[in-house]
Amino acid sequence: MGIRIDSLRCSLIAIPLLILASSFHSASAGPCEVSYFNGRQIFNFSLTAPIAGFPHGVLSEDGYYKVAENESVLWFQLCDGMIFNHNPPRCVGCQDCGGPSHCGSGCSALVANNIGGYDVCSTIGGVSSTSADIMDEQNPQKGVIVKISSLDTKENCSLSVSVICNSSGLTGPLGLQKSGTCDYAAVLQHPSGCATVVSVHGKGLGWFATLIIIVLCVFGAYMLAGAVYRHFFLGIHGFDVMPNLDFWITLPQRTQGFFASLVRRFRGPTESYRDSYSPVNF
């Protein structure tokens, strides 16, 4: 019975541990902090952290990024609200993003479409509706995707900016794409899209611990199967149901004998001889 409980407990502990050790998961501690663990390494992205040449990380020094394609013009800032010191967007319907006098300064992304000769604004969202995740789980170092979206305006709008890791500098934003009624995508190459990679040792489960658990489980399964076989097919009951009982009972003595012989070999027989007959000093 004791054997069965042990092996049950062994698999109850080992299976979740193994799943945990090989689990893939990402977590984020702020909208622009992305941390991804693939079981071996942690990939950390901090988009707003200062780096060489970019004291505000991925944030545009101008206060906004601008990208235009076809009849659409899109302004955005990543991880913050936009700031316009000059040339603010001029479009009708800016009330969700600063109003006509401060258009653009009340949100993180705004798009203007020319409809019948008028530029009509659609607010895409603010910092509170910004989220970021890694771009590609197979290649976590590729970069992150920052998504800004809103559901509370007249129409549902979103902007996905792929921040691709390029340690040599900033390129873009490029390639404005539109899908659906108000869903946009653009691409930015930026050093802030490059991950800090931390190799994990000790965290999770090392291969040695995994090996030990596997060995213990195989041993438990062997004992259980042996006991079941001896109980049902050989009709053995009681404590004798344990396979190789003689061996296990004598195992402590054998181990002791083995270590004793090791010690003898290292210390030499003469010393132990002398030890056992050492005269008592008066």
Based on the shown chain and the rule CB under 6 A, indicate whether residue 85 belongs to the binding site for ligand NAG.
no
Q: Which is nearer to ligand NAG, 11 or 166 (CB)?
A: 166
How far apart, in whole angstroms, are the C-alpha atoms of residue 123 and residue 158? 9
| The dihedral formed by the CA atoms of 66, 133, 44 and 106, expressed in degrees to the nearest 10 | 40
Based on the shown chain and the rule CB under 6 A, indicate whether residue 192 belongs to the binding site for ligand NAG.
no
Based on the shown chain and the rule CB under 6 A, indicate whether residue 69 belongs to the binding site for ligand NAG.
yes
How far apart, in whole angstroms, are the C-alpha atoms of residue 271 and residue 254? 23
3-state DSSP call for residue 259?
helix
Based on the shown chain and the rule CB under 6 A, indicate whether residue 119 belongs to the binding site for ligand NAG.
no
**Contacting residue, 6, 33, 133, 183, with ligand NAG by CB under 6 A:** 33
Q: Which of 152, 217, 214, 156 is nearest to 183 (CA)?
A: 156
**Contacting residue, 11, 26, 72, 141, with ligand NAG by CB under 6 A:** 72
Q: How far is the CB of 170 from ligand NAG (least distance, A)?
A: 6
Q: Which is nearer to ligand NAG, 11 or 38 (CB)?
A: 38
3-state DSSP call for residue 52?
coil
Based on the shown chain and the rule CB under 6 A, indicate whether residue 189 belongs to the binding site for ligand NAG.
yes
How far apart, in whole angstroms, are the C-alpha atoms of residue 128 and residue 220? 53
CA 206 vs CA 1, 12, 24, 159, 196: distances in Å? 31, 19, 16, 41, 22
CB contact at 8 A, 94 and 103: yes
State the DSSP code for 81.
-
Based on the shown chain and the rule CB under 6 A, indicate whether residue 178 belongs to the binding site for ligand NAG.
yes
Which of these segments, 27-35, 83-91, 129-137, 255-263, binds ligand NAG (CB under 6 A)? Answer: 27-35
**Contacting residue, 26, 38, 41, 44, with ligand NAG by CB under 6 A:** 44
Based on the shown chain and the rule CB under 6 A, indicate whether residue 174 belongs to the binding site for ligand NAG.
no
Q: Which of 272, 248, 270, 249 is nearest to 260 (CA)?
A: 272
**Contacting residue, 22, 95, 139, 171, with ligand NAG by CB under 6 A:** 171
Residue appearing with tokens 């206060």:
63
Which of these segments, 66-74, 77-85, 101-109, 252-260, binds ligand NAG (CB under 6 A)? Answer: 66-74
Based on the shown chain and the rule CB under 6 A, indicate whether residue 115 belongs to the binding site for ligand NAG.
no
**Contacting residue, 20, 29, 234, 251, with ligand NAG by CB under 6 A:** 29
Residue appearing with tokens 């438990």:
220
Per CB under 6 A, residues contacting ligand NAG are 29, 33, 35, 42, 44, 69-70, 72, 151, 155-156, 166, 168-169, 171, 176-178, 189, 196, 198
